Structure 1
Amino acid sequence: MKLPTPKTMIEVAKVAATGVLAGGFAILAINLLPQFVKIEHSITDLRTVAFSDRAPQTSLDVAIVGIDEKSLEGVPYLSPLDRGYLSDVVTEIAGAEPRVIVLDILFDRTTEPKKDEALEQTLRNLQVPVVLIRSGDPLDPAFQNRFLASTYRPIGGPLVSATVDDVVRHIPVSPDGTCSLSEAAKLVRDNPGLRTLPHCDRERPIRIDWLLEPPGQETFTYIRSSELTGPDVMPLQLARLRGKVVIIGGVFDLIDRHKTPLSVLHGDTAGVPGTQSSLSNGATSPGVLVHAQAMQQLFDGRVRHELGVIGEAILLLFCGLSGAILGSFSEMRKRRGIVLFVVTISLIVIDITLFKFARFVLPGDAAGFAVFLGFLFNSMRLNYRIGGLPSAGKTLGETIL
Structure 2
Amino acid sequence: MNTKPTSAAASGSLFPLFRLMVGAACLAGLIGLLFVPQFLPWVLRFEHTTADWRTALLSDRLAGPHPRISVVSISPATLRDYANSPIDRGLLARTIKAIDDAGAEAIGLDVYFLKATDPAKDQALVDALKGAKAKVVLGAWDERGQMEPFQKQFQKQFVDKIGRPVGYLNLRHQRDDVVRYRASPHPGSDYPLSFARRLAESVGRDAQDSERPIAWLLPPDNGSFAYHTVQAQDIVPGEHSTTPESAARASAPLKGKIVLIGGDFPERDKHRTPLSSWTSESMAGVLIHANMLADLLEPKRSIAELPPSVARNLVGVIAVVSCLIGWLMWQSSIVQYIGYTAATVVLVAVDAFVYKEFRLLLPITLILAAWFLGVTGGRAARFFFHWFLGKDRIAA
**Quick check: 2:34–2:315 contact (8 Å CA) kept in 1?**
yes
Q: Structure 1 residue 100 and structure 2 residue 106: aligned?
A: yes
Q: TM-score, normalised by structure 1?
A: 0.80
d(CA) in 2 for partners of 1:184, 1:20: 49
**Paired residue for 1:179?**
193
Q: 49-58 or 20-29: which moved more?
A: 20-29
Matched, 1:359 2:359: yes
In 2, are the aligned partners of 1:20 and 1:320 still within 8 Å (CA)?
no
- CA deviation after TM superposition for structure 1 residue 289, in Å: 1.3
Higher-Rg structure is 2
Q: CA–CA distance in 2 between the matches of 1:333 and 1:125?
A: 77
Matched, 1:63 2:70: yes
> Where in structure 2 are there 5+ consecutive unaligned residues?
1-24, 392-396
- Structure 1 CA distance for aligned equivalents of residues 235 and 195 of structure 2: 24
What whole-Å deviation, never above 9, does each CA across 1:365-392 have from its counterpart, x for those lacking one? 111111222233343334334447xx9x
Q: Name 1:272's counterpart in structure 2.
A: none
> Corresponding residue for 1:144?
155
Check conservation: 1:23, 1:321, Cα contact below 8 A: no
- Residues 1:335 and 1:286: Cα distance change in structure 2 (over 3 Å): same
Give ranges in structure 1 of 5+ residues lacking alignment.
Answer: 1-17, 192-197, 268-281, 392-401
1:232 to 242, 250, 253: 242
Q: Match for residue 139 of structure 2?
A: 133
Question: How many residues end up aligned between the 2 structures?
Answer: 349
Secondary structure of the 1:131 match is strand
Confirm or deny: 8 A CA contact 2:107 2:260 kept in the other structure: yes
CA contact (8 A) 2:330 2:379 kept: no
Deviates more, 1:30-39 or 1:340-349: 30-39
- For residue 164 of structure 2, give the secondary structure of its aligned residue in structure 1: coil
Query: What residue in structure 1 maps to residue 212 of structure 2?
Result: 206
Deviates more, 1:357-366 or 1:369-378: 369-378
Letter in 2 for 1:232: T
Per the TM alignment, residue 334 of structure 1 is displaced from its structure 2 partner at its CA by: 5.6
Using a 3 Å threshold, how does the CA distance of structure 1 residues 31 and 89 change in structure 2: closer, same or farther? farther
Residue of structure 1 in register with 2:166 after alignment: 155
Aligned to 1:51: 58
Aligned counterparts, 1:1-400, within 5 A: 23-29=30-36, 33=40, 35-75=42-82, 77-136=83-142, 137=145, 138-139=147-148, 140-176=151-187, 178-190=192-204, 202=209, 204-216=210-222, 217-229=224-236, 230=239, 231-233=241-243, 234=246, 235-265=248-278, 267=279, 282-301=280-299, 302-331=301-330, 335-338=334-337, 339-387=339-387
Offset of 1:224 from its aligned partner? 0.3
* CA deviation string 1:56-101 (max 9, x = no partner): 22222000000001111111x1111111211111111111110100
Q: Deviations over 1:189-227 (max 9, x none)?
A: 117xxxxxx9x864x412222222222233211100010
**Could you tell me how far 1:183 is from its partner in structure 2?**
1.2
RMSD: 2.7
Separation (CA, whole Å) in 1 of partners of 2:308 and 2:122: 45
| Contact preservation (8 Å) 1:107, 1:144 | yes
Separation (CA, whole Å) in 2 of partners of 1:286 and 1:27: 37
- Does the Cα contact within 8 Å between 1:63 and 1:221 map onto a contact in 2? yes
What residue is the counterpart of 2:4 in the other structure?
none
Report if aligned partners of 1:333, 1:379 keep a CA contact under 8 Å in 2.
no
**In 1, Cα distance between equivalents of 2:173 and 2:260:** 24
| Change in 2 beyond 3 A, CA 1:106/1:384 | same
CA distance in 2, matches of 1:108, 1:332: 70
The 3-state SS of whatever aligns with 2:225 is: coil
Give the aligned residue type for 1:286. A
Aligned counterparts of 2:28 and 2:311: Cα–Cα separation in 1: 15
Alpha-carbon distance change, 52 to 332 in structure 1, aligned in 2, over 3 angstroms: farther
- Give the Cα separation in 1 of the matches to 2:63 and 2:27: 45
What's the offset of the Cα at 1:363? 1.2
Moved more, 50-59 or 253-262: 50-59
For residues 125-159 of structure 1, the C-alpha deviation after alignment (integer angstroms, 9 at most, x for no partner) is 32221111111313411111111111111111224
Cα deviation 1:341-365 (Å, max 9, x = unaligned) = 2222211111111112222211111
Supply the distance in 1 between the matched residues of 2:152 and 2:256 (Cα, whole angstroms). 34
Please tell me whether the aligned partners of residues 323 and 376 of structure 2 are also in contact (alpha carbons under 8 angstroms).
Answer: yes
**Counterpart Cα distance in 2 of 1:332 and 1:316:** 25
CA contact (8 A) 2:66 2:227 kept: yes
Identical columns (%): 26
Report SS of the residue matched to 2:60.
coil
Deviation at 1:33, TM superposition (A): 4.2
Distance 2:288 2:136 in 1: 19
Is residue 263–residue 269 contact of structure 2 (8 Å, CA) maintained in 1?
yes
* Greater relative contact order structure (CA < 8 Å, 6+ sep): 2
**Farther-moved stretch of structure 1 (62-71 vs 90-99):** 90-99
**Aligned pair in 2 of structure 1 residues 37, 366: CA closer, same or farther (>3 Å)?**
same
